Structure 1
Amino acid sequence: MGMIIDLEPIKCNALLTDNYVGRLAYIADHEPHVVPSTYFFDADQGCILCFASNGHRINALRKCNKVSFQVDRIESFRHWQSVQVHGTYQELAGDRAKECLKRFAEGVERTIDHKNAERPHFLSHFSGRLQEAEMPVVYRIAVTKITGKSVENFT
């Protein structure tokens, strides 16, 4: 196996841009929780856009807004890259939430098209949900730090 090295910032950003599923880590009731989450990395705004229904995750994030978000590219034990984002949960509302939900949907769609991956069924529901009174909770993770690791011989 090659040596594990730090991933350059440009490669960290590329890994975040080229994917749409990561793991959100947060604290609830003094316990760590990690959940998979669909996301869009908005490099221009320095944030990760996400959404969720009201529930455990959102209630916890409202109480403790410091989070981590991890995205991996794993081909094998000897070929992988991993990026960890530290940031702050920021809930969005009104027109700002609708705008970001639309940007999220379009960004995820572009990423999926670029990867020639299967399109998740939830994307087709966004146009209707943008008009509904009961929108999902739209939030961003304002990035404070990004770090990454890679196996040295990863290509």
Structure 2
Amino acid sequence: MVGILSPQEIQRFLQKHYIGTISCCFHDKPYAVPFTFLYDEASHTLVSYTAEGKKIDILRKNPQVCVAVTEIQNLSNWKSVVIEGRYQELDGLEAVEAIKLLISKLRKRINDQGLQKVEQIEDFARISHSSRKVIYRIEIQHTSGRYELAEG
């Protein structure tokens, strides 16, 4: 059975996941990479951070993005959410608060799922002197979601 996820199901799905694929485009050349995010229910945004690089260069020139988040058990059992949104860099106190929220919630999710030692999240968030980190959010403009469940 194939179906459409309700807005409430999409929200629960995004609360559960923290890895997706972010897609952007510049000069008619699409670019897609995996990224780690936090869905912030209060602001209805995705919060993330990364080092300076190609993705950030493109997003600064064209802030429109598409994000795909999937959960695939097999070809007949899966869920997928697609988000259309707008990239926005954060700085100052807003960036500090965003990274604190990101670290605390990701630590809890990763620990709850038993996928990684909680201490390793500190490595994820460590800011090195060799590269500037960019803290940003994706303002969600539109979401859609689908699923397939094997009948039987």
Q: Same fold (TM over 0.5)?
A: yes
The one-letter code matched in structure 1 to 2:137 is R
Distance 1:27 1:55 in 2: 14
CA shift at 1:95, angstroms? 1.6
1:12 correspondence with 2:10: yes
CA shift at 1:119, angstroms? 4.1
CA shift at 1:28, angstroms? 2.8
1:151 correspondence with 2:148: yes
CA shift at 1:152, angstroms? 4.6
* Structure 1: gaps (5+ residues): none
- In structure 2, the CA distance between the partners of 1:121 and 1:34, relative to structure 1 (3 Å rule), is farther
Aligned CA-pair RMSD: 2.3
Secondary structure of 2:98's counterpart equals helix
The one-letter code matched in structure 2 to 1:114 is D
Secondary structure of 2:83's counterpart equals strand
Deviations 1:58-87 (CA, angstroms, capped at 9, x unpaired): 010000000011111111111000001111
Match of 2:26 among 4, 24, 28: 28
TM-score of the aligned structures, taking structure 2 as reference length:
0.89
The one-letter code matched in structure 2 to 1:17 is Q
Deviations 1:84-109 (CA, angstroms, capped at 9, x unpaired): 11110000011211110111111111
TM-score of the aligned structures, taking structure 1 as reference length:
0.87
Secondary structure of 1:129's counterpart equals coil
* Structure 2: gaps (5+ residues): none
Distance 2:66 2:122 in 1: 28
Which residue number corresponds to residue 78 of structure 1?
76
User: Is the Cα–Cα contact under 8 Å of residues 15 and 73 in structure 1 kept in the other structure?
Assistant: no
Which residue number corresponds to residue 38 of structure 1?
36
TM superposition outliers: structure 1 runs of 4+ over 6 Å: none
Match of 1:118 among 101, 113, 116: 116
1:142 correspondence with 2:142: no
CA shift at 1:151, angstroms? 1.0
Distance 1:63 1:120 in 2: 36
CA shift at 1:29, angstroms? 3.3
Secondary structure of 2:111's counterpart equals helix
The number of residue pairs the alignment matches comes to: 151
CA shift at 1:147, angstroms? 0.6
Identity %: 25
Secondary structure of 2:47's counterpart equals strand
CA shift at 1:18, angstroms? 0.6
